[in-house]
Structures are given as structure tokens and as C-alpha cells.
Structure 1
Amino acid sequence: MSSPTPSESAAAAANRKIHDVLPGAVADKIPHIPESKAEVKADAKVAVSTGFTQLRSLAAGGFGGVCAVVVGHPFDLVKVRLQTADKGVYSSALDVVRKGIAKDGLRRGLYAGVSAPLVGVTPMFAVSFWGYDLGKSIVRSTSTVAPDGSLSIAQISAAGFFSAIPMTAITAPFERVKVILQVQGQKQLAPGEKPKYAGGVDVVRQLYKEGGVRSVFRGSVATLARDGPGSAAYFAAYEYIKKYLTPRDPITGETSGKLSLMAITCAGAGAGVAMWIPVFPIDTVKSRLQTSEGNVTIGGIIRGLYKLGGVKAFFPGFGPALARAVPANAATFLGVELAHQAMNKAFN
């Protein structure tokens, strides 16, 4: 091992020792220690830029989530009520809408339980899109990517799956509150009887009183089981459709223009459909698990559903879910893109 030269700084000596002692493949993964004030300033500038980019991802994702809730909540309400209602309560998705409006009016009939996702959707979608960007950074640092920096569909799927991990901590309790309020709205009350829950905060308070934090977070495993593969399919489909719709030179095949907002909207709609198709049965189990009273298990829910109606019992509300996926996810990605454009104009 060589010794430091008199003119060599401690940082330079440390960097040299790392490369002398460790194999090249390992040493190259270790962050470089700044050897001068200029390098420190350059690293600080990169760190600030990276942090600002992540903040933009959080803000854009949050705005996209609000757009998704406003557009998609009525469809989600119908889906959850079909998933959790006893057999014969509703004859179709339109019957859910008709009975809901007749009982609670247009606003409550279509937006029951909307407070929970509206409160939770900003951090939920913000963390999802932030997690996706972070996942892409991890994939780039741990695997081989194309010379132009683009990721393969498998790498995008891995980044998408990663985005669901931090998001579950937010998604699970908010979805627990949302589905409880949605299901409560379909219960027929006796004259003078009041609903069990007065709102989202009251749901959390009573759940915590009944079973502590564990009760509030019931369904977290099922939520991750749904959102992990769902997010992988979601972002992979979005990037694939975007790539397919991007204008290209007919001769060279190179990108020849920016993607239009209409194309982004179509990509978002397709991504939503791609997400729901493989994970809908898991979502049905999650909804049942989060609305059941007493001690229930995922295995018990699965056995009960299969006994109730076979494989078909795992797909009630599939139509409304796909119907919601198109406008809600189109609104999500359109909102994210518009938010990025607005921030680029304001800060660049």
C-alpha cells in the first residue's frame, strides 16, 4: 500500500486508499470524498438540486392525487359497496348509484367517505411519485442501464414496486377509514338511529379504542400485496405507452418532439387499467378485511369469498374499478405533468 505524499490532502489519501484496498467494482460504488473547496461546493450544489427535484416530485404527485380523487371517488364508492355488500343488495353498479343518491342525495350519495382520501391523497400520491423517482435512482445505481440512461420495462417495474413500500404506511390506514365510511353509507338505519361513525376522525378514534394501532392499520399486508405489483404494472405501462406515443422521426427513429398532454392523458388511462387487472382480487380481499368486525384473517376472508361464489366472488365491482381507472388515472398523470410544467415556469 502506498503512503500519502506530502502535498496530498487527507481526503485525497482516503480516496486513494479505498481504491488501493478494495476491488474496483466495490470501490466505484463508494461515494467520492471531496478533495477541495471547489468539489465541496459542487457536491453541495448537486445535493440541493437533487433535494429540490424530490420536493417537486412530492408536490406534483400530491396535486395529481387530488385530481384523481375528485374524478374517481364516485367510481371507487360503487366498487367498494359492491365488494362488501351481501348478495342481492345491489343488482348492478347503476343500482348502487341510484340507491345511494335516493338515500343521501347527489353529494353524499356519490362522495361518501371522500374526506379520508382527500386528506390522505396528497401525502399518499406524493410519496408514491417520490418513491418511484427514488426507485429509478436505486435501479440506475445497482444495475446496468442503456447508454442514454433509459430503463427497461423490468427496471421500471422494479422502481414502481419500490414506490409502494413507503406509500403503504400512508395508504393502509386512510383506506381503512375510507372503506368503513363508504360501507356505513349503505346501511339502512332504523328511525332515530344514528350512524356508528360521525366522520373520519371518529373512525380512527373508535378503531384505536377497540384495538389500538394494529386495528387502525388492519389490511396493511393486503394493501402492500395489492400496491406492490399494481404499482409495478402501473408505472411500466405508463412509460411504455408514453414511449410508444412519443413523436419520432420516420427516417432516423429519433425523438422528434414532446409528448402532447392528450398523449399523457391516454398513457395515464392505460396505466390505470394495467394496474387493476392483475390485482383486483387482492383489492376485494383487502376491502373485506378492512370492513369486517372482530378478529379476521386474510386466509379466512379468501376461504369465505370462495365459498360464497367461487372465483367470481373475487371480482364484484370490477367494471366500476376499470371505469374509474380510465378518468382517475388520466387525471392523475395530467395533474402531475401540469404541476411540473407550472413549477418549471416558476423556478427555472
Structure 2
Amino acid sequence: MTAAAEAEAGTSSAVQTAKDLFSGAAGGIAQVLIGQPFDIVKVRLQTGTTAQRSALAAAKSIWTHEGPLAFYKGTLTPLLGIGACVSIQFGAFHFARRQLEARATPAGSTTPSRPLTYTELYAAGAFAGIANTVLSSPIEHVRIRLQTQPHGDKRLYNGPADCVRKLIRAGGVGHGLYRGTAVTLLREAQAYGVWFLTFEYLMNLDASRHHISREQIPSWKVALYGGLAGETLWLASYPFDVVKSKMQTDGFRTETAGLNDFGGEKRYKNMRDCFRQTWRAEGMRGFWRGIGPTLARAMPVSAGTFAVVEMTMRAIN
């Protein structure tokens, strides 16, 4: 390949990455607006910060005692952050996909000699999840603490910025703001590997069955396949998410007491200890608490995300 051709290929790749990032950001905004009410119920059930045991009872309690706007408590952080996260997810996935396709392309050709295997698609999705962790870990930590803090005069944080400041003051960046990152990394890799794999499999199956191109698949099917991918994402990664939520709400009482660190009140030493304590206290059921509202949320949220991303990509390409 000549220098001019390499430069043109690099420019084309950069432009495509920018399009991937933009369409992902649009999908991320849709994801937050659709999913936030489901998410607050899920987090409160996971962490035991509600006395209710069912999703419906927890939702009713939030509505009765905190009002309907409470379902969007802590929304500012994910609205700003999840848009960036989904942008990174799709940008990283398609970047990794192009790199894998380049490896399958013979010298002197611009077309891969074979389609990517589903193992390779899973790997590209896992890469997207790992890349996403840098942002998703602190964003979700802040969101979860805002969602589960006491209501009214007893609240611990006056918004996202105050929460970030207090977490860093209490435990530093690594042990405070980024607490739970190890299990978040495992969850993200598994979750997004399965998410993208499922969506690509269903899209490829439909195109092959009807002898059409991907762009000809109607939007309602794109949304359906995206929704199904969302279900598999959580079924494949939910126990990691439970442990992450438990670790990221650990230490509330310490902060209420006005101490400067999590020391005296921290329940979990690390990720393995959290897994161990959850198993001892609740058995297998403890790793699936809150799965009902999570799966109910996953279908519309993931459907909306993929539909918006796919339609945006078709519009700008």
C-alpha cells in the first residue's frame, strides 16, 4: 500500500470512528431516559436500602414517600456520563472489529477473506466493555450512591459533584471514587461481549434468512434484536453487578458518622470477600436479587439504544 493510500485509509478510519462515537452518544442518551426509573428500583433491591422485597413494592414505596421525580434521582450523572460510555462502547467495538477484519484481509486487498467468527465478535465486545470501565466505574458509583442515599434532610450528598468530592476525601481516587472497579471490569467485559455478540448474531441471521443486506433490516427488528441482546447481557453478567453495587454502597454509615475514611464501617474487604459474604448470607438467590426489574428494563433500554445507534449510523453514512 502506498503512503497516499495509507493516509487515506487512516483518515477514513478516523471519520468512521467519529461516526461510531456520535451514534453511540445518541444511543446513550436514549438509554438513560428510558431506563433510569427501572434502575433505581434495581439498585435499591440489590443493596438492601429498601425494606421491600419485590420490584413493584419498592417502586410503590418510592412513589409514595419520595414522589415521582425520585425515579430520576441521580439522573444528571448518567445522562452526562452514560452518553459518553455508550459512545465509547460502540466506538471501541467497531474499532476492534475493524482491526480484526484487517487481520483477515489478504495483502493488496480491501475485503476480508472471511466474516468474523462469533468468538472474535465476543472479543471485540469485551474490548469495548474494558475500554468503557474507565468511565463507567466512577459514574455508576456516584449514581448508585445518589440513588440509595437517605431521603430529605438526612441525605448524604448534595449532587454529583458533592458526592465525587466526598468519595475522594473519604478514600482517595482508587479506594474511594473507583471502589469496585475490579468487579466492574469483569462485568463489563462479559456483559458487552455477550451484548454485541447476540445483536450481531441476530442481525446476521435475519439478513441471511431473507437474503438482504443489514441496512435493509427494518427498524422494528433492529429494536427487537437489540432488546433481546439486552436480556442476554444481564443474564450473563448479573452476579458481578450485584457484587459491584454492594461494594459501591459500602460505607454509608461511616460517612453519616462524619469520619474521614471508610475504615470502621467498611463491610467488604475486597471483591472476593463480597462474593463470599453474599453466598454465606443468601446463597445463590443473593446474586440474583433485583433481576426482575433489571430484565424488565433491559428490553426497552437496549432496544432503544440499538435502534437509535443503527438509525443514526444509517443517516450519517
Fold agreement, TM-score > 0.5: yes
Give the letter for the 2:186 counterpart: A
2:136 to 171, 185, 199: 171
What percentage of residue pairs aligned between the two structures are identical?
31
Return the structure number with greater helix share: 2
Residue equivalent to 1:72: 35
Where does residue 302 of structure 2 map in the other structure? 329
Q: Is the 8 A contact 1:269 1:328 kept in 2?
A: yes
Say if 2:185 is the partner of 1:227.
no
Is the 8 Å Cα contact of residues 85 and 132 (structure 2) preserved in structure 1?
A: yes
Q: Structure 1 residue 304 and structure 2 residue 286: aligned?
A: no
Cα distance change, pair 49–91 in 1 and its aligned pair in 2 (3 A): same
Aligned to 2:77: 116
Tell me the equivalent position of 2:223.
265
Following the alignment from structure 2 to structure 1, what is the Cα–Cα distance between the partners of residues 282 and 151?
A: 25
1:84-105 Cα offsets, whole Å, 9 max, x none, are 016x810310111111111221
* Aligned residue identity for 1:217: Y
- The structural deviation recorded for 1:339 is 1.5
Residue pair 1:247, 1:257 contacting (<8 A) in 2 also: no
Alignment of 1:1-348 (within 5 A): 39-85=2-48, 89-108=51-70, 110-142=71-103, 149-184=114-149, 187=150, 193-214=153-174, 215-246=176-207, 248=209, 258-293=216-251, 294=262, 295=266, 296=268, 297-344=270-317
SS at match of 2:307: helix
Q: Which stretch of structure 1 is more off in the superposition, 194-203 or 166-175?
A: 194-203
Query: How far apart, in 2, do the equivalents of 1:254 and 1:162 lie?
Result: 29
CA shift at 1:241, angstroms? 0.9
Higher deviation after alignment, 208-217 or 282-291: 208-217
Supply the RMSD in Å over aligned alpha carbons: 2.1
Change (3 A) 1:256 1:314: closer
Map Cα deviations across residues 215-249 of structure 1 (whole Å, 9 max, x no partner): 11111111111010111110010011112222645
Task: Please report how far the alpha carbon of residue 210 of structure 1 lies from its aligned counterpart in structure 2 after TM superposition.
Answer: 1.1
Q: Would the aligned equivalents of 1:136 and 1:156 in 2 still touch at CA under 8 Å? A: yes
SS of residue paired to 1:52: helix
Structure index of larger Rg: 1
Aligned residues: 297
CA distance in 1, matches of 2:215, 2:94: 23
Please give the alpha-carbon distance, in whole angstroms, between the structure 1 residues aligned to 2:160 and 2:5.
47
**Structure 2 residue matching 1:246: 3-state secondary structure:** helix
Distance 1:144 1:284, change over 3 A: farther
Query: Where does the alignment leave 5 or more consecutive residues of structure 2 unmatched?
Result: 252-261
Give the partner amino acid of 2:285. K
Structure 1 residues 177 and 257: alpha-carbon distance in aligned structure 2, compared to 1, 3 A threshold: closer
User: What one-letter code is carried by the residue in structure 1 that aligns with 2:243?
Assistant: V
Equivalents in 1 of 2:236, 2:295: separation in Å?
A: 12
Distance in 2 (CA, whole Å) between partners of 1:52 and 1:283 is: 34
Displacement of 1:152 in angstroms is: 1.5
Q: Gaps spanning 5+ residues in structure 1: where?
A: 1-31, 33-38
- CA distance, structure 2, for counterparts of residue 175 and residue 130 of structure 1: 20
Length-normalised TM-score, structure 1: 0.80
Whether the aligned pair in 2 keeps the contact of 1:248 and 1:257 (CA below 8 Å) is no
SS of equivalent to 2:38: helix
